[in-house]
Amino acid sequence: MTIEILQTHPLLASCEAALAARYTVHKLHEQADKAGWLAANGARIRAHAGSGVQADLMDQLPNLEIIASFGVGYDNIDTAAARARNIRVTNTPDVLNDAVAELTIGLMISLARRIPQSDQFVRQGKWPGANFGLFSELTGKTVGILGLGRIGKEIAARAQAMKMRVVYFGRHHQPSVPYIYYDNLEDMARDSDWLVVIAPGGKGTEKIVSRQVLEALGPEGRIVNVARGTLIDEPAMVELLVNGGLGGAALDVFEKEPQVPAELLTLDNVVLSPHQGSATHQTRDAMGALLVANLEKHFAGEPLISAVV
């Protein structure tokens, strides 16, 4: 008998093909009567592939052994409930570090040099009648990184290549890194030209970038968020961007995706991206392969590659 696993959302085509070659895959999102299907079949499911798994779903899968998440963040999985039920949880770290770091620097350059706006300036035929203007560059600026984890370190290395000064704030001082540590986020924001947000989501970091932090960053400061929208006090950020209290924002994530505050759509000091941090063929294929590899390790009785719980 093959192992039966559950999907609750679509996954990358290459990942779905790899899963189908190894397991019997049930796609709950394609079922008209999801509750009825779970009641009839939930006891056969031994693994979940994807994310967004809460305690109520775990209760309907009494023989669930593992949740293999597609993504590095796992704040949308109730890990406490999984631990209580002895359900293992894995994620897909490391393989997306470069893609997210590249996009971060791309967003920073796009905001500093107004690349999206300059593209429209040319496309709209305005160039013959006027110059686009002068803006800023990254060279010589200080970037404060909120969350110097795997991806944060990749961003830091690329920022140094752009001749930026790197400082960081996190839960712990990391003596082995060559950057100045701040134990107070507001102080770091005050001393930085750029604030890059790349810490994990969840209740522990919700609105950690408060109005006070944004005001400390100030009218010449710029914020970049490639983590989770919930880390920033979004209404305060929008207000400060509108009234000039904050210099600019480059945002790949939002508090209530895919909804974006309407005010942001009208601002020239903002660059917007539809949660594209890891969205390359190379990275997404690697994420899918790691998800499948974690499942294979689990069912072979071997150590997991990237265990969360």
- Of 115, 176, 104, nearest to 143 by C-alpha is 104
Active-site pick, 30, 220, 257, 263 = 257
How far, in Å, are 24, 110, 112, 298 from residue 224 at the CA level? 41, 11, 11, 37
Share of the chain above pLDDT 90, in %: 99
Catalytic residue flag (residue 257) = yes
CA nearest 6: which of 80, 55, 72, 64? Answer: 64
Tens digits of per-residue pLDDT, 57-93?
A: 999 999 999 999 999 999 999 999 999 999 999 999 9
Q: Which residues contact 309 (CB under 8 A, 6 or more apart)?
A: 79, 82, 83, 87, 88, 89
222 labelled catalytic: no
Catalytic residue among 228, 255, 284, 298: 228
The per-residue pLDDT of the chain, averaged, comes to 97
Dist. CA 6–CA 47, nearest whole Å: 6
User: 281-299 and 13-22 are packed helices; what angle lies between their axes, rounded to 10 degrees?
Assistant: 20
Q: How far is residue 167's CA from residue 144's CA, in Å, rounded to a whole number?
A: 5
What is the maximal distance between C-alpha atoms in the chain?
72
- pLDDT on residue 248: 98
Instruction: Tell me what pLDDT residue 138 has.
Output: 98
Residue 309: is its pLDDT beyond 90? Answer: no
State the pLDDT at residue 112: 98
301 phi and psi angles, rounded to 5 deg: 75, 25
Encode 29-47: b = buried (16+ Cβ within 10 Å), e = exposed: eeeeeeeebbeebbebbbb
Question: 245 with 252: CB under 8 angstroms?
Answer: no
Cβ 69 vs Cβ 90: under 8 Å? yes
Residues 6+ apart with CB under 8 A from 7: 16, 19, 25, 26, 27, 28, 29, 48, 49, 50
Active site residue 48: no
Termini Cα distance of the chain: 27
Out of 22, 211, 275, 296, the active site residue is 275
130-189 pLDDT, tens per residue? Answer: 999 999 999 999 999 999 999 999 999 999 999 999 999 999 999 999 999 999 999 999
Contacts 24+ apart (CB under 8 A), 155-159: 155/100, 155/101, 155/104, 155/105, 155/196, 155/198, 157/101, 158/101, 158/102, 158/104, 158/105, 159/105
pLDDT in tens, 270-302: 999 999 999 999 999 999 999 999 999 999 999
Q: Is the pLDDT of residue 1 over 70?
A: no
Using an 8 Å Cβ cutoff, are 264 and 241 in contact?
yes
